[in-house]
Amino acid sequence: MHKSFPRTGSLVVTAAVGLLLSMPVRAHDPIFGLGPHVLYKGGVEIAVETATEKAGDENEQELALELTYGLTGDWAAGVDLPYVRKDDGTQTRSGAGDLALFTKYRFWRRDSLGLQESMAVALKVITDTADTSGAPPLGKGTTDGILGLAYGYESRRQYRWASIRYRVNGTNPAGVERGDKLLVDFVAGIRPNPRGYLEPDTVWLLELNGEYGQKARFNGVDLADTGGSEWFLSPGLFWTLRNFAVKAGVQIPVYSNLNGNQPESDYRAKLTLEWHL
């Protein structure tokens, strides 16, 4: 009997460690960049997002409803339904924006005690469904696609993400070939006070977001006042309580090299409320 106690204790410890290894780290994604997080199979995410951006005299606000469904434990898909308000400095218009369809597939995942690393690919198709007949137009007038690759390192206290996305822009009704864009993101996050699932939890984030845009073309000729690069430093936070989350952040421009006469970004901001069902 006495010899069985160490063996039993060893089994208990082994089982406990195995349970901890199998428990997923509380998953997050960046605010402005792309992360590898996906929903569990059959899961539903409802998100309400408000975003604003200002560049010179141009101002745009967007309110969007985003619905996501977990097709499998590694594959999710959804739809983005935006409502936009645009002000070009002389006129203001509002209405439904371009509906978008998206999907994400996590193709690699490695779990260890209190740590998860993963990678995912993502595809987003932004349809040409907004009204472009007036001024300012509510959409781009083209169907665009975004292909992305994301890596994530998530532990109890630290988070790290990196992603790259390529946006293929179409030709609008005026015959302008809108230049493609490359998006690069590096993100670090820290949880000052690790907490349990039933307790409020806060992660502070700092993102570095870069954008490289090609020049637009018309009749085979580059348009001077298009394309260029911008970089943003973006502080934010991710607050969660059980299946509810709040994400908020602001993008502050730190470098701009836009071609020709284009308004530089003054700021961008985003606030998102998420429910997982």
Angle of CA points 56, 59, 60, to nearest 5°: 145
pLDDT of residue 118: 98
* Interval 91-119: pLDDT, tens: 999 999 999 999 999 999 999 998 999 99
| 20 in a structural domain | no
Number of domains, the chain: 1
Confidence of residue 4 (pLDDT cuts 50, 70, 90): very low
| 191 in a structural domain | yes
Enter the pTM of the model: 0.89
Averaged over 38-49, what is the pLDDT?
96
| 17 in a structural domain | no
| 56 in a structural domain | yes
Q: What is the extent of the structural domain holding 174? A: 26-276
Q: Answer whether 64's CB lies under 8 Å from 124's CB.
A: no
CATH number at residue 252: 2.40.160.40
* Interval 192-201: pLDDT, tens: 998 877 899 9
Whole-angstrom Cα distance, residue 130 to residue 172? 13
* Interval 7-22: pLDDT, tens: 444 443 343 333 333 3
Confidence of residue 27 (pLDDT cuts 50, 70, 90): low
| 46 in a structural domain | yes
| 50 in a structural domain | yes
Q: Is residue 198 packed enough to be buried (19+ CB in 10 Å), middle (13-18) or exposed (0-12)? A: exposed
| 157 in a structural domain | yes
| 21 in a structural domain | no
